[in-house]
Amino acid sequence: MAQYLYAPHVAHLYDLLDLPFEYGRYRRIRRTVFQGVSGTVLDAGVGTGRNMPFYPSGAKMVGIDLSPHMLSKACKRRDNLGVTADLRRMDATDTDFPDRAFDYAVATFLFCVLDDEHQLPALRELRRITKPDGEIRIIEYAYSNRPLKRFVMDLWAPWVRWVYGATFDRRTEQYVEAVGLELVEDRFLFEDIIKLLVLRPR
C-alpha cells in the first residue's frame, strides 16, 4: 500500500502534535488552496479532516485516506462541524473512481508522505480522475535554501519521518510532465518551505 498507515496512537495524537503548526502556518494555507474551488472536489489524503472548515460552500466533497484511524477522526470532525462530505478508505495511487470524476483534486501534505516510487502512480491516478478542464492542487514541504533554516529542518527530519512518515524533499513537480500534466503554478505560501503546485491535464 502506498500511503503511510498511521498507528492508532499516532492518529490519536496527530492533531495535538500538529497544533502549533496548524494555527501558526496551515490554516491560512488551507484557506488559500480552496479559494475558487467548486463542483465535485476530492480531498486526497483527508487525514483527520483539517481541511474541512475551508471546504467551499456548495461543492460536492469527497475525502479519501488509507488509514482507518485517521478516517475515524475525520468522520468525527465532519459530524461536529456539520460538513457534508463523503469519506472513504482508499489508496490515492489506486482509487475506484471513474475517469474524469472530479473538477478539482486537492492534496495537502499527502505527497510528503508518499515514498518516491508512489509519487508517479499517485499523480497519474489524480490525472485520471480529474476532468480535462479540471485542476489538481498540491501543498507540500520543500527544504529551505537558507543555510540556517535548512540546518534546523535537517535536525527535525528524523522525527518528522518517524512520526508522520513524511520528508521535506519529495519534489513532486519532477513527475508532472511524465503523467501528462502541466505545471501552471509553483509558488511558496509560507516562507520558502511550503509550496503550492497547481496542475492541469495536458
The model's pLDDT over 58-102, given as tens digits with 9 standing for 90+, comes to 999 999 999 998 999 999 999 999 999 999 999 999 999 999 999
pLDDT at 5 over 80: no
- Rounded to whole angstroms, the Cα distance separating 175 from 126 reads 13
Q: Provide the sign of the torsion angle of the four alpha carbons 89, 122, 194, 148, taken in this order.
A: positive
Ramachandran angles phi, psi of 51, nearest 5° = -75, -15
Q: How far apart are CA 45 and CA 64, in angstroms?
A: 6
One-letter amino acid at 23 equals: Y
Exposure string for 59-73, b = 16+ CB within 10 A, e = fewer: bebbbbbbbebbbbb
Domains located in the chain, CATH noted = 8-201 (3.40.50.150)
pLDDT band at 1 (very low <50, low <70, confident <90, very high): very low
pLDDT-derived band at 2 (thresholds 50, 70, 90) equals very low
> CA–CA distance from 66 to each of 70, 109, 174 (Å)?
8, 14, 24
pLDDT digits (tens, 9 = 90+) for 97-144: 999 999 999 999 999 999 889 999 999 999 999 999 999 999 999 999
Distances (CA, A) of 56 to 9, 39, 51, 82, 193: 31, 9, 10, 13, 26
Provide the whole-model pTM: 0.91
